[in-house]
A and B are shown apart, each in its own frame.
Chain A
Amino acid sequence: MELYKLSTVELSEKLKNKEIDSAVLYTRLVERIKSVEGKMNAFARYYEKPCHLIKNKDNYAVNKGLYGLPVAIKDNICIKGKETTCSSKILQGFKAPYDATVISRLKGAGASFIGQTNMDEFAFGSSTETSFYGPTHNPWDLERVPGGSSGGSAAAVAADEAIVALGSDTGGSIRQPAAMCGIVGLKPTYGRVSRYGLIAFASSLDQIGTLSKTVEDAALIMNIISGKDELDSTSCDVEVPDFLEVIKGDIKGLKAGIPKEYFIEGLDDEVKTIVKEAIETLKKLGVEVEEISLPHTKYAVSTYYLIAPAEASSNLARFDGVQYGIRQSASDLADMYKNTRAEGFGQEAIRRIILGTYSLSSGYYEAYYLKALKARAVIANDFKEAFKKVDFILTPTAPTTAFKINEKINDSLQMYLSDIYTIPVNLAGIPAMSVPCGFDSKKLPVGLQIITKAFDEATIFKVAYSYQQNTLWHKEKPKL
């Protein structure tokens, strides 16, 4: 049996019942990685043996146990004693001396870790091409990108190199690659999952989430990682439902909103058709659908590219060669900083640091950063208004299917527009999931995005699960 092809829920069940042994599963997974990783480059690094001891092997809360199941982790989430580099040259050699909260919670649920997945450097990108480790390939077409920035996590899960993975989503970095790789990607509400130990890109937008083969798998992992953390002041003390339970709820009579601003120029015709078909499927399942308006959608990308780089310019200032990572020698301190950062950061990182530094500079702050904060509030309010009328919103996850490697790398604006449907969700701090909803004529996957109000992941899970129960898209596997 090809164990690695099974879902997280299936495998944890088998592990729990001792039908399989976690060491065997781990070995099978490593064998799978070895057989396809040469084509994929989905990992920044993977471990031939589980990197920590699993304690209390059977003693887990109901619907929270992983019983030794290996999880893949994006290369920007700290695992104690392991190199964590954000796929950047500047952090080469940095071994995190502590576990991120999500890692300690996963350990507590009996997870092991198979490795750290490739990503756009510091999560700056939508294609996983800006990584120091080179691009990850899309398992559906190896000449194409997997999306990004959590492209390594998405590709690894799609190619069965990982059972399930964690990613981070600042402007679409979980959902867009999930859509392009044909898997399930969830960005929870801002504050639902602790950011402690997630190396920050844009602190007010970053959120850790899941990349998985099925909706239930996302629910199981969310049961483990969600909830208030005393180490993250922005995590919220909101009750966490048992997502594996609420998932089974009925969706008949729920109201879905289709924002007209998401179905205009720039959206690929095939993607549009496929998403509309998915909406029809949900209608048949009893969902009431109406057109809505999110009038300030057009400002989202520019707003995002003022706020996110501004925070990034400050968050990345600590990579200065003093404490950890690489250091370039120089005759004085200022040159040491300059040489180290010039050597350590890639082009996209440098572009965003300069952009962010500029928008925070004295004399420009009011015109750019402050104005962007105001625009952000207006965009968030669009959603608030919409959720007075509907229970959830349906959109395409990305305007196109996966594009070719090198196709957009030199055209920043085209690259940035790849996140046009995911960015507003981060600005509003609300949750959204991408679920597989079909394939275009090139046999490339398309994702349907389900958005709800803050802390209503339960509705997302219900809708996504019902849809998945009535479709087979998620069962399709790329041929490698």
Chain B
Amino acid sequence: MKYKTVIGLEVHVQLASKTKIFCGCRTNFGAEANTQICPVCLGLPGSLPVFNRKVLELSLKAAITLNCTIAETMKFDRKNYFYPDLPKAYQISQFDMPLAVKGYLDIELNGGNKRIEITRVHLEEDAGKLIHTQKESLVDFNRCGTPLIEIVSEPDLNNPEEAYSYLKKLKSILNYLEVSDCNMQEGSLRCDANISLMPQGSNKLGTRAEVKNLNSFKAVKDALTYEVTRQQAELEEGRKIFQETRLWDDTAKKTISMRSKEEAHDYRYFPEPDLPKFLIQTSMINDIKKSLPELGHEKKDRFVKDYSLSEYDADILTSSKAMAEYYERCLKILNEPKEVANWLIGPVLSELKNLNEAFDSIKLDPRELIEMIKLIKENKVNVNTAKEEILPEIIENYKKTADVLKEKDILQVSDEAELSAFIKQVISENEKSINDYQQGKKSAIMYLVGQVMRLSKGKANPKKVKEMLEKKLEN
């Protein structure tokens, strides 16, 4: 039998506010354990939450961009469960009056666009982290109270690739909005997937499994692909799919059953009595709408149109907000869209890759990069010298192009008198190649150019050398 795959995603996104959702503690990643804590996020007896307005602003940016209906009044609820990383034994979340509902996100697929409905976007606080040693388990409460939004999609995704595209698009949007840094390794974007199969042509949804512990986009794709195969095999052998939570094991590349529905928690949601209901002012929504930045896909379309770039190049340049903005900063200094794009997509990206750095953290001043490109255009440096001698210095060691030039003595030599001496020597030492050339094997000249380059330690202007050699040998 043929089956249709049905996937819905629940994405938790850490908001990029400097302080926590209900107290003034910092949210820096990687701080020493239990240094970003206070009575409120520790849930100490008697402490009370106070809602951070910056969090409302960030979450509204996301919800508005995801085309959601924003609540006129939202409230917080308590989700009750015991766990050592949850110091109040309840999480402040939103149950029946969330921030926003009924949105959508259009994703790009090979066959065109597809609209994925978004059920709801709600606010909640993060829990702490358990650290297990051989002897004991320790709790780091730093992450307690970090603001999260949970974005729940309808089960509109029909294969792992669509899920992947959805996540990629979502990440790009949140990144451009500066709502979150969306760093999956640091846990600022986390994804749970609900997946089920149903016979082709049926309209009755199958029993779903919830897959957790998906720590990268690739893990999402791999785990869903695994689940499709597993569930299909179960169904084909006449077995039932159980409603359960399954954990993705990224090393073994399979999902493992964690707990079944029967053991599921009763979270006993009820309205959080320590926080009043919040009215969301229309004026606030309007102000945010006015302040929304250009998004990745919008930038990409503009780059193709305004700079005559290929779809491929525009896609890479807009893959992060940092890179797209960097590109346009460069163009302001030197309006050569194609040339600058080539440098960024090629040598600059590969240099960053060698350094294992993302574009967001680039320290290269666009003026230095453009200075280097200008040197090439003015025949003062040749391309290879620039790539090999200048670029690493200005990216890795934050040097100025002019300083590298001085230090390394790599100004291109175009002076005829200086070059004549090299040419004279090469001609006297390469009789065979000269004969070849004069007998019509024109390609032999490149060898001779290479010899001049070698003698000049790469500094000779190859174009000039070639011209001079041709002139000399014609005579």
B268 to chain A: which residues have CB within 8 Å? 313-314, 357, 360-362, 365
B43 to chain A: which residues have CB within 8 Å? 318, 323
Chain A binding site: helix, strand, loop or mixed by DSSP?
loop
Q: Does B392 contact A (CB under 8 A)?
A: no
Q: Does A1 contact B (CB under 8 A)?
A: no
CB of B202 to closest CB in A, whole Å: 30
Contact (A84, B45) CB under 8 Å given A233-B50, A317-B82, A362-B268? yes
Q: Point out the residue from B45, B50, B270 that lies within 8 Å of A199, measured CB to CB.
A: B45
Of A91, A94, A96, A319, most buried by chain B (CB within 10 Å of CB) is A96
In the complex, which residues 76-101 of chain B have their Cβ closer than 8 Å to any Cβ of chain A? 78, 80, 82, 84, 87-90
B273 touches A203 (CB 8 A): yes
Q: Does A47 contact B (CB under 8 A)?
A: no
A202 to chain B: which residues have CB within 8 Å? 273
Q: Does A230 contact B (CB under 8 A)?
A: yes
Q: Does B266 contact A (CB under 8 A)?
A: yes
Q: A197-B47, A199-B46, A234-B276 are known contacts; what are 9 more A-B pairs with Cβ within 8 Å? A: A100-B46, A196-B47, A231-B48, A314-B90, A317-B88, A318-B43, A360-B270, A365-B270, A369-B270
A234 touches B274 (CB 8 A): yes
Contact with A along B47-77 (1 / 0, CB 8 A): 1111100000000000000000000000000
CB of B209 to closest CB in A, whole Å: 22
Chain B's closest residue to A333 (CB) is B84
Cα–Cα distance between A337 and B84 once the two chains are bound (Å): 10
Interface size (B, Cβ < 8 Å)? Answer: 28
Q: Does B139 contact A (CB under 8 A)?
A: yes
CB of A363 to closest CB in B, whole Å: 9
Contact with A along B171-191 (1 / 0, CB 8 A): 000000000000000000000
Q: Does B25 contact A (CB under 8 A)?
A: no
Residue ranges of A at the interface with B (Cβ–Cβ < 8 Å): 76-78, 84, 86, 91, 94, 96-98, 100, 195-200, 202-204, 230-234, 310-311, 313-314, 317-320, 322-324, 333, 337, 357, 360-362, 365, 369
Q: Does B44 contact A (CB under 8 A)?
A: yes
Q: Point out the residue from B51, B89, B274, B275 that lies within 8 Å of A318, measured CB to CB.
A: B89
B80 touches A314 (CB 8 A): yes
Residue ranges of B at the interface with A (Cβ–Cβ < 8 Å): 39, 42-51, 78, 80, 82, 84, 87-90, 139, 266, 268-270, 273-276
Cα–Cα distance between A360 and B51 once the two chains are bound (Å): 25
Chain A's closest residue to B265 (CB) is A362
A311 touches B273 (CB 8 A): yes
Chain A's closest residue to B89 (CB) is A317
CB of A229 to closest CB in B, whole Å: 9
Cα–Cα distance between A365 and B96 once the two chains are bound (Å): 14
B78 touches A314 (CB 8 A): yes
A91 touches B45 (CB 8 A): yes
Cα–Cα distance between A53 and B50 once the two chains are bound (Å): 30
Cα–Cα distance between A202 and B273 once the two chains are bound (Å): 9
Q: Point out the residue from A196, A204, A310, A365 that lies within 8 Å of B46, measured CB to CB.
A: A196
Q: Point out the residue from B42, B50, B87, B88 that lies within 8 Å of A231, measured CB to CB.
A: B50
Q: Please, could you name 29 A-B residue pairs with CB atoms under 8 Å apart, sorted by A?
A: A78-B45, A84-B45, A84-B46, A91-B45, A94-B45, A96-B45, A98-B39, A100-B46, A195-B48, A196-B46, A196-B48, A232-B48, A233-B274, A234-B273, A234-B274, A234-B276, A311-B273, A313-B80, A314-B78, A314-B90, A317-B80, A317-B90, A318-B45, A318-B89, A320-B89, A322-B139, A357-B268, A360-B80, A369-B270
B274 touches A322 (CB 8 A): no
CB of B317 to closest CB in A, whole Å: 45
A314 touches B270 (CB 8 A): yes
CB of A272 to closest CB in B, whole Å: 35
Of B269, B273, B275, most buried by chain A (CB within 10 Å of CB) is B273
B51 to chain A: which residues have CB within 8 Å? 233
B39 touches A203 (CB 8 A): no
Chain A's closest residue to B38 (CB) is A98
A323 to chain B: which residues have CB within 8 Å? 42-44, 87
B39 to chain A: which residues have CB within 8 Å? 97-98
Cα–Cα distance between A300 and B17 once the two chains are bound (Å): 44
Chain A's closest residue to B42 (CB) is A323
Chain A's closest residue to B84 (CB) is A322
Cα–Cα distance between A197 and B39 once the two chains are bound (Å): 10
Contact (A318, B276) CB under 8 Å given A199-B46, A233-B50? no
CB of B84 to closest CB in A, whole Å: 5
B269 to chain A: which residues have CB within 8 Å? 360
A96 touches B80 (CB 8 A): no
A198 touches B46 (CB 8 A): yes
B89 to chain A: which residues have CB within 8 Å? 314, 317-318, 320
Cα–Cα distance between A310 and B270 once the two chains are bound (Å): 9
CB of A113 to closest CB in B, whole Å: 16
Cα–Cα distance between A319 and B268 once the two chains are bound (Å): 18
B78 to chain A: which residues have CB within 8 Å? 314
B44 to chain A: which residues have CB within 8 Å? 96-98, 323-324
Chain A's closest residue to B44 (CB) is A97
Chain A's closest residue to B272 (CB) is A203
Of B48, B78, B80, most buried by chain A (CB within 10 Å of CB) is B48
CB of B132 to closest CB in A, whole Å: 12
B46 touches A96 (CB 8 A): yes
Cα–Cα distance between A202 and B43 once the two chains are bound (Å): 16
A313 to chain B: which residues have CB within 8 Å? 80, 268
B273 to chain A: which residues have CB within 8 Å? 202-204, 234, 311
Cα–Cα distance between A100 and B46 once the two chains are bound (Å): 8
A322 to chain B: which residues have CB within 8 Å? 84, 87, 139
Closest 3 CB pairs of A and B: A317-B89, A203-B273, A204-B273
CB of B128 to closest CB in A, whole Å: 10
A78 to chain B: which residues have CB within 8 Å? 45-46
A86 to chain B: which residues have CB within 8 Å? 45
CB of A19 to closest CB in B, whole Å: 37
Chain A's closest residue to B23 (CB) is A231
CB of B466 to closest CB in A, whole Å: 76
Cα–Cα distance between A198 and B273 once the two chains are bound (Å): 14
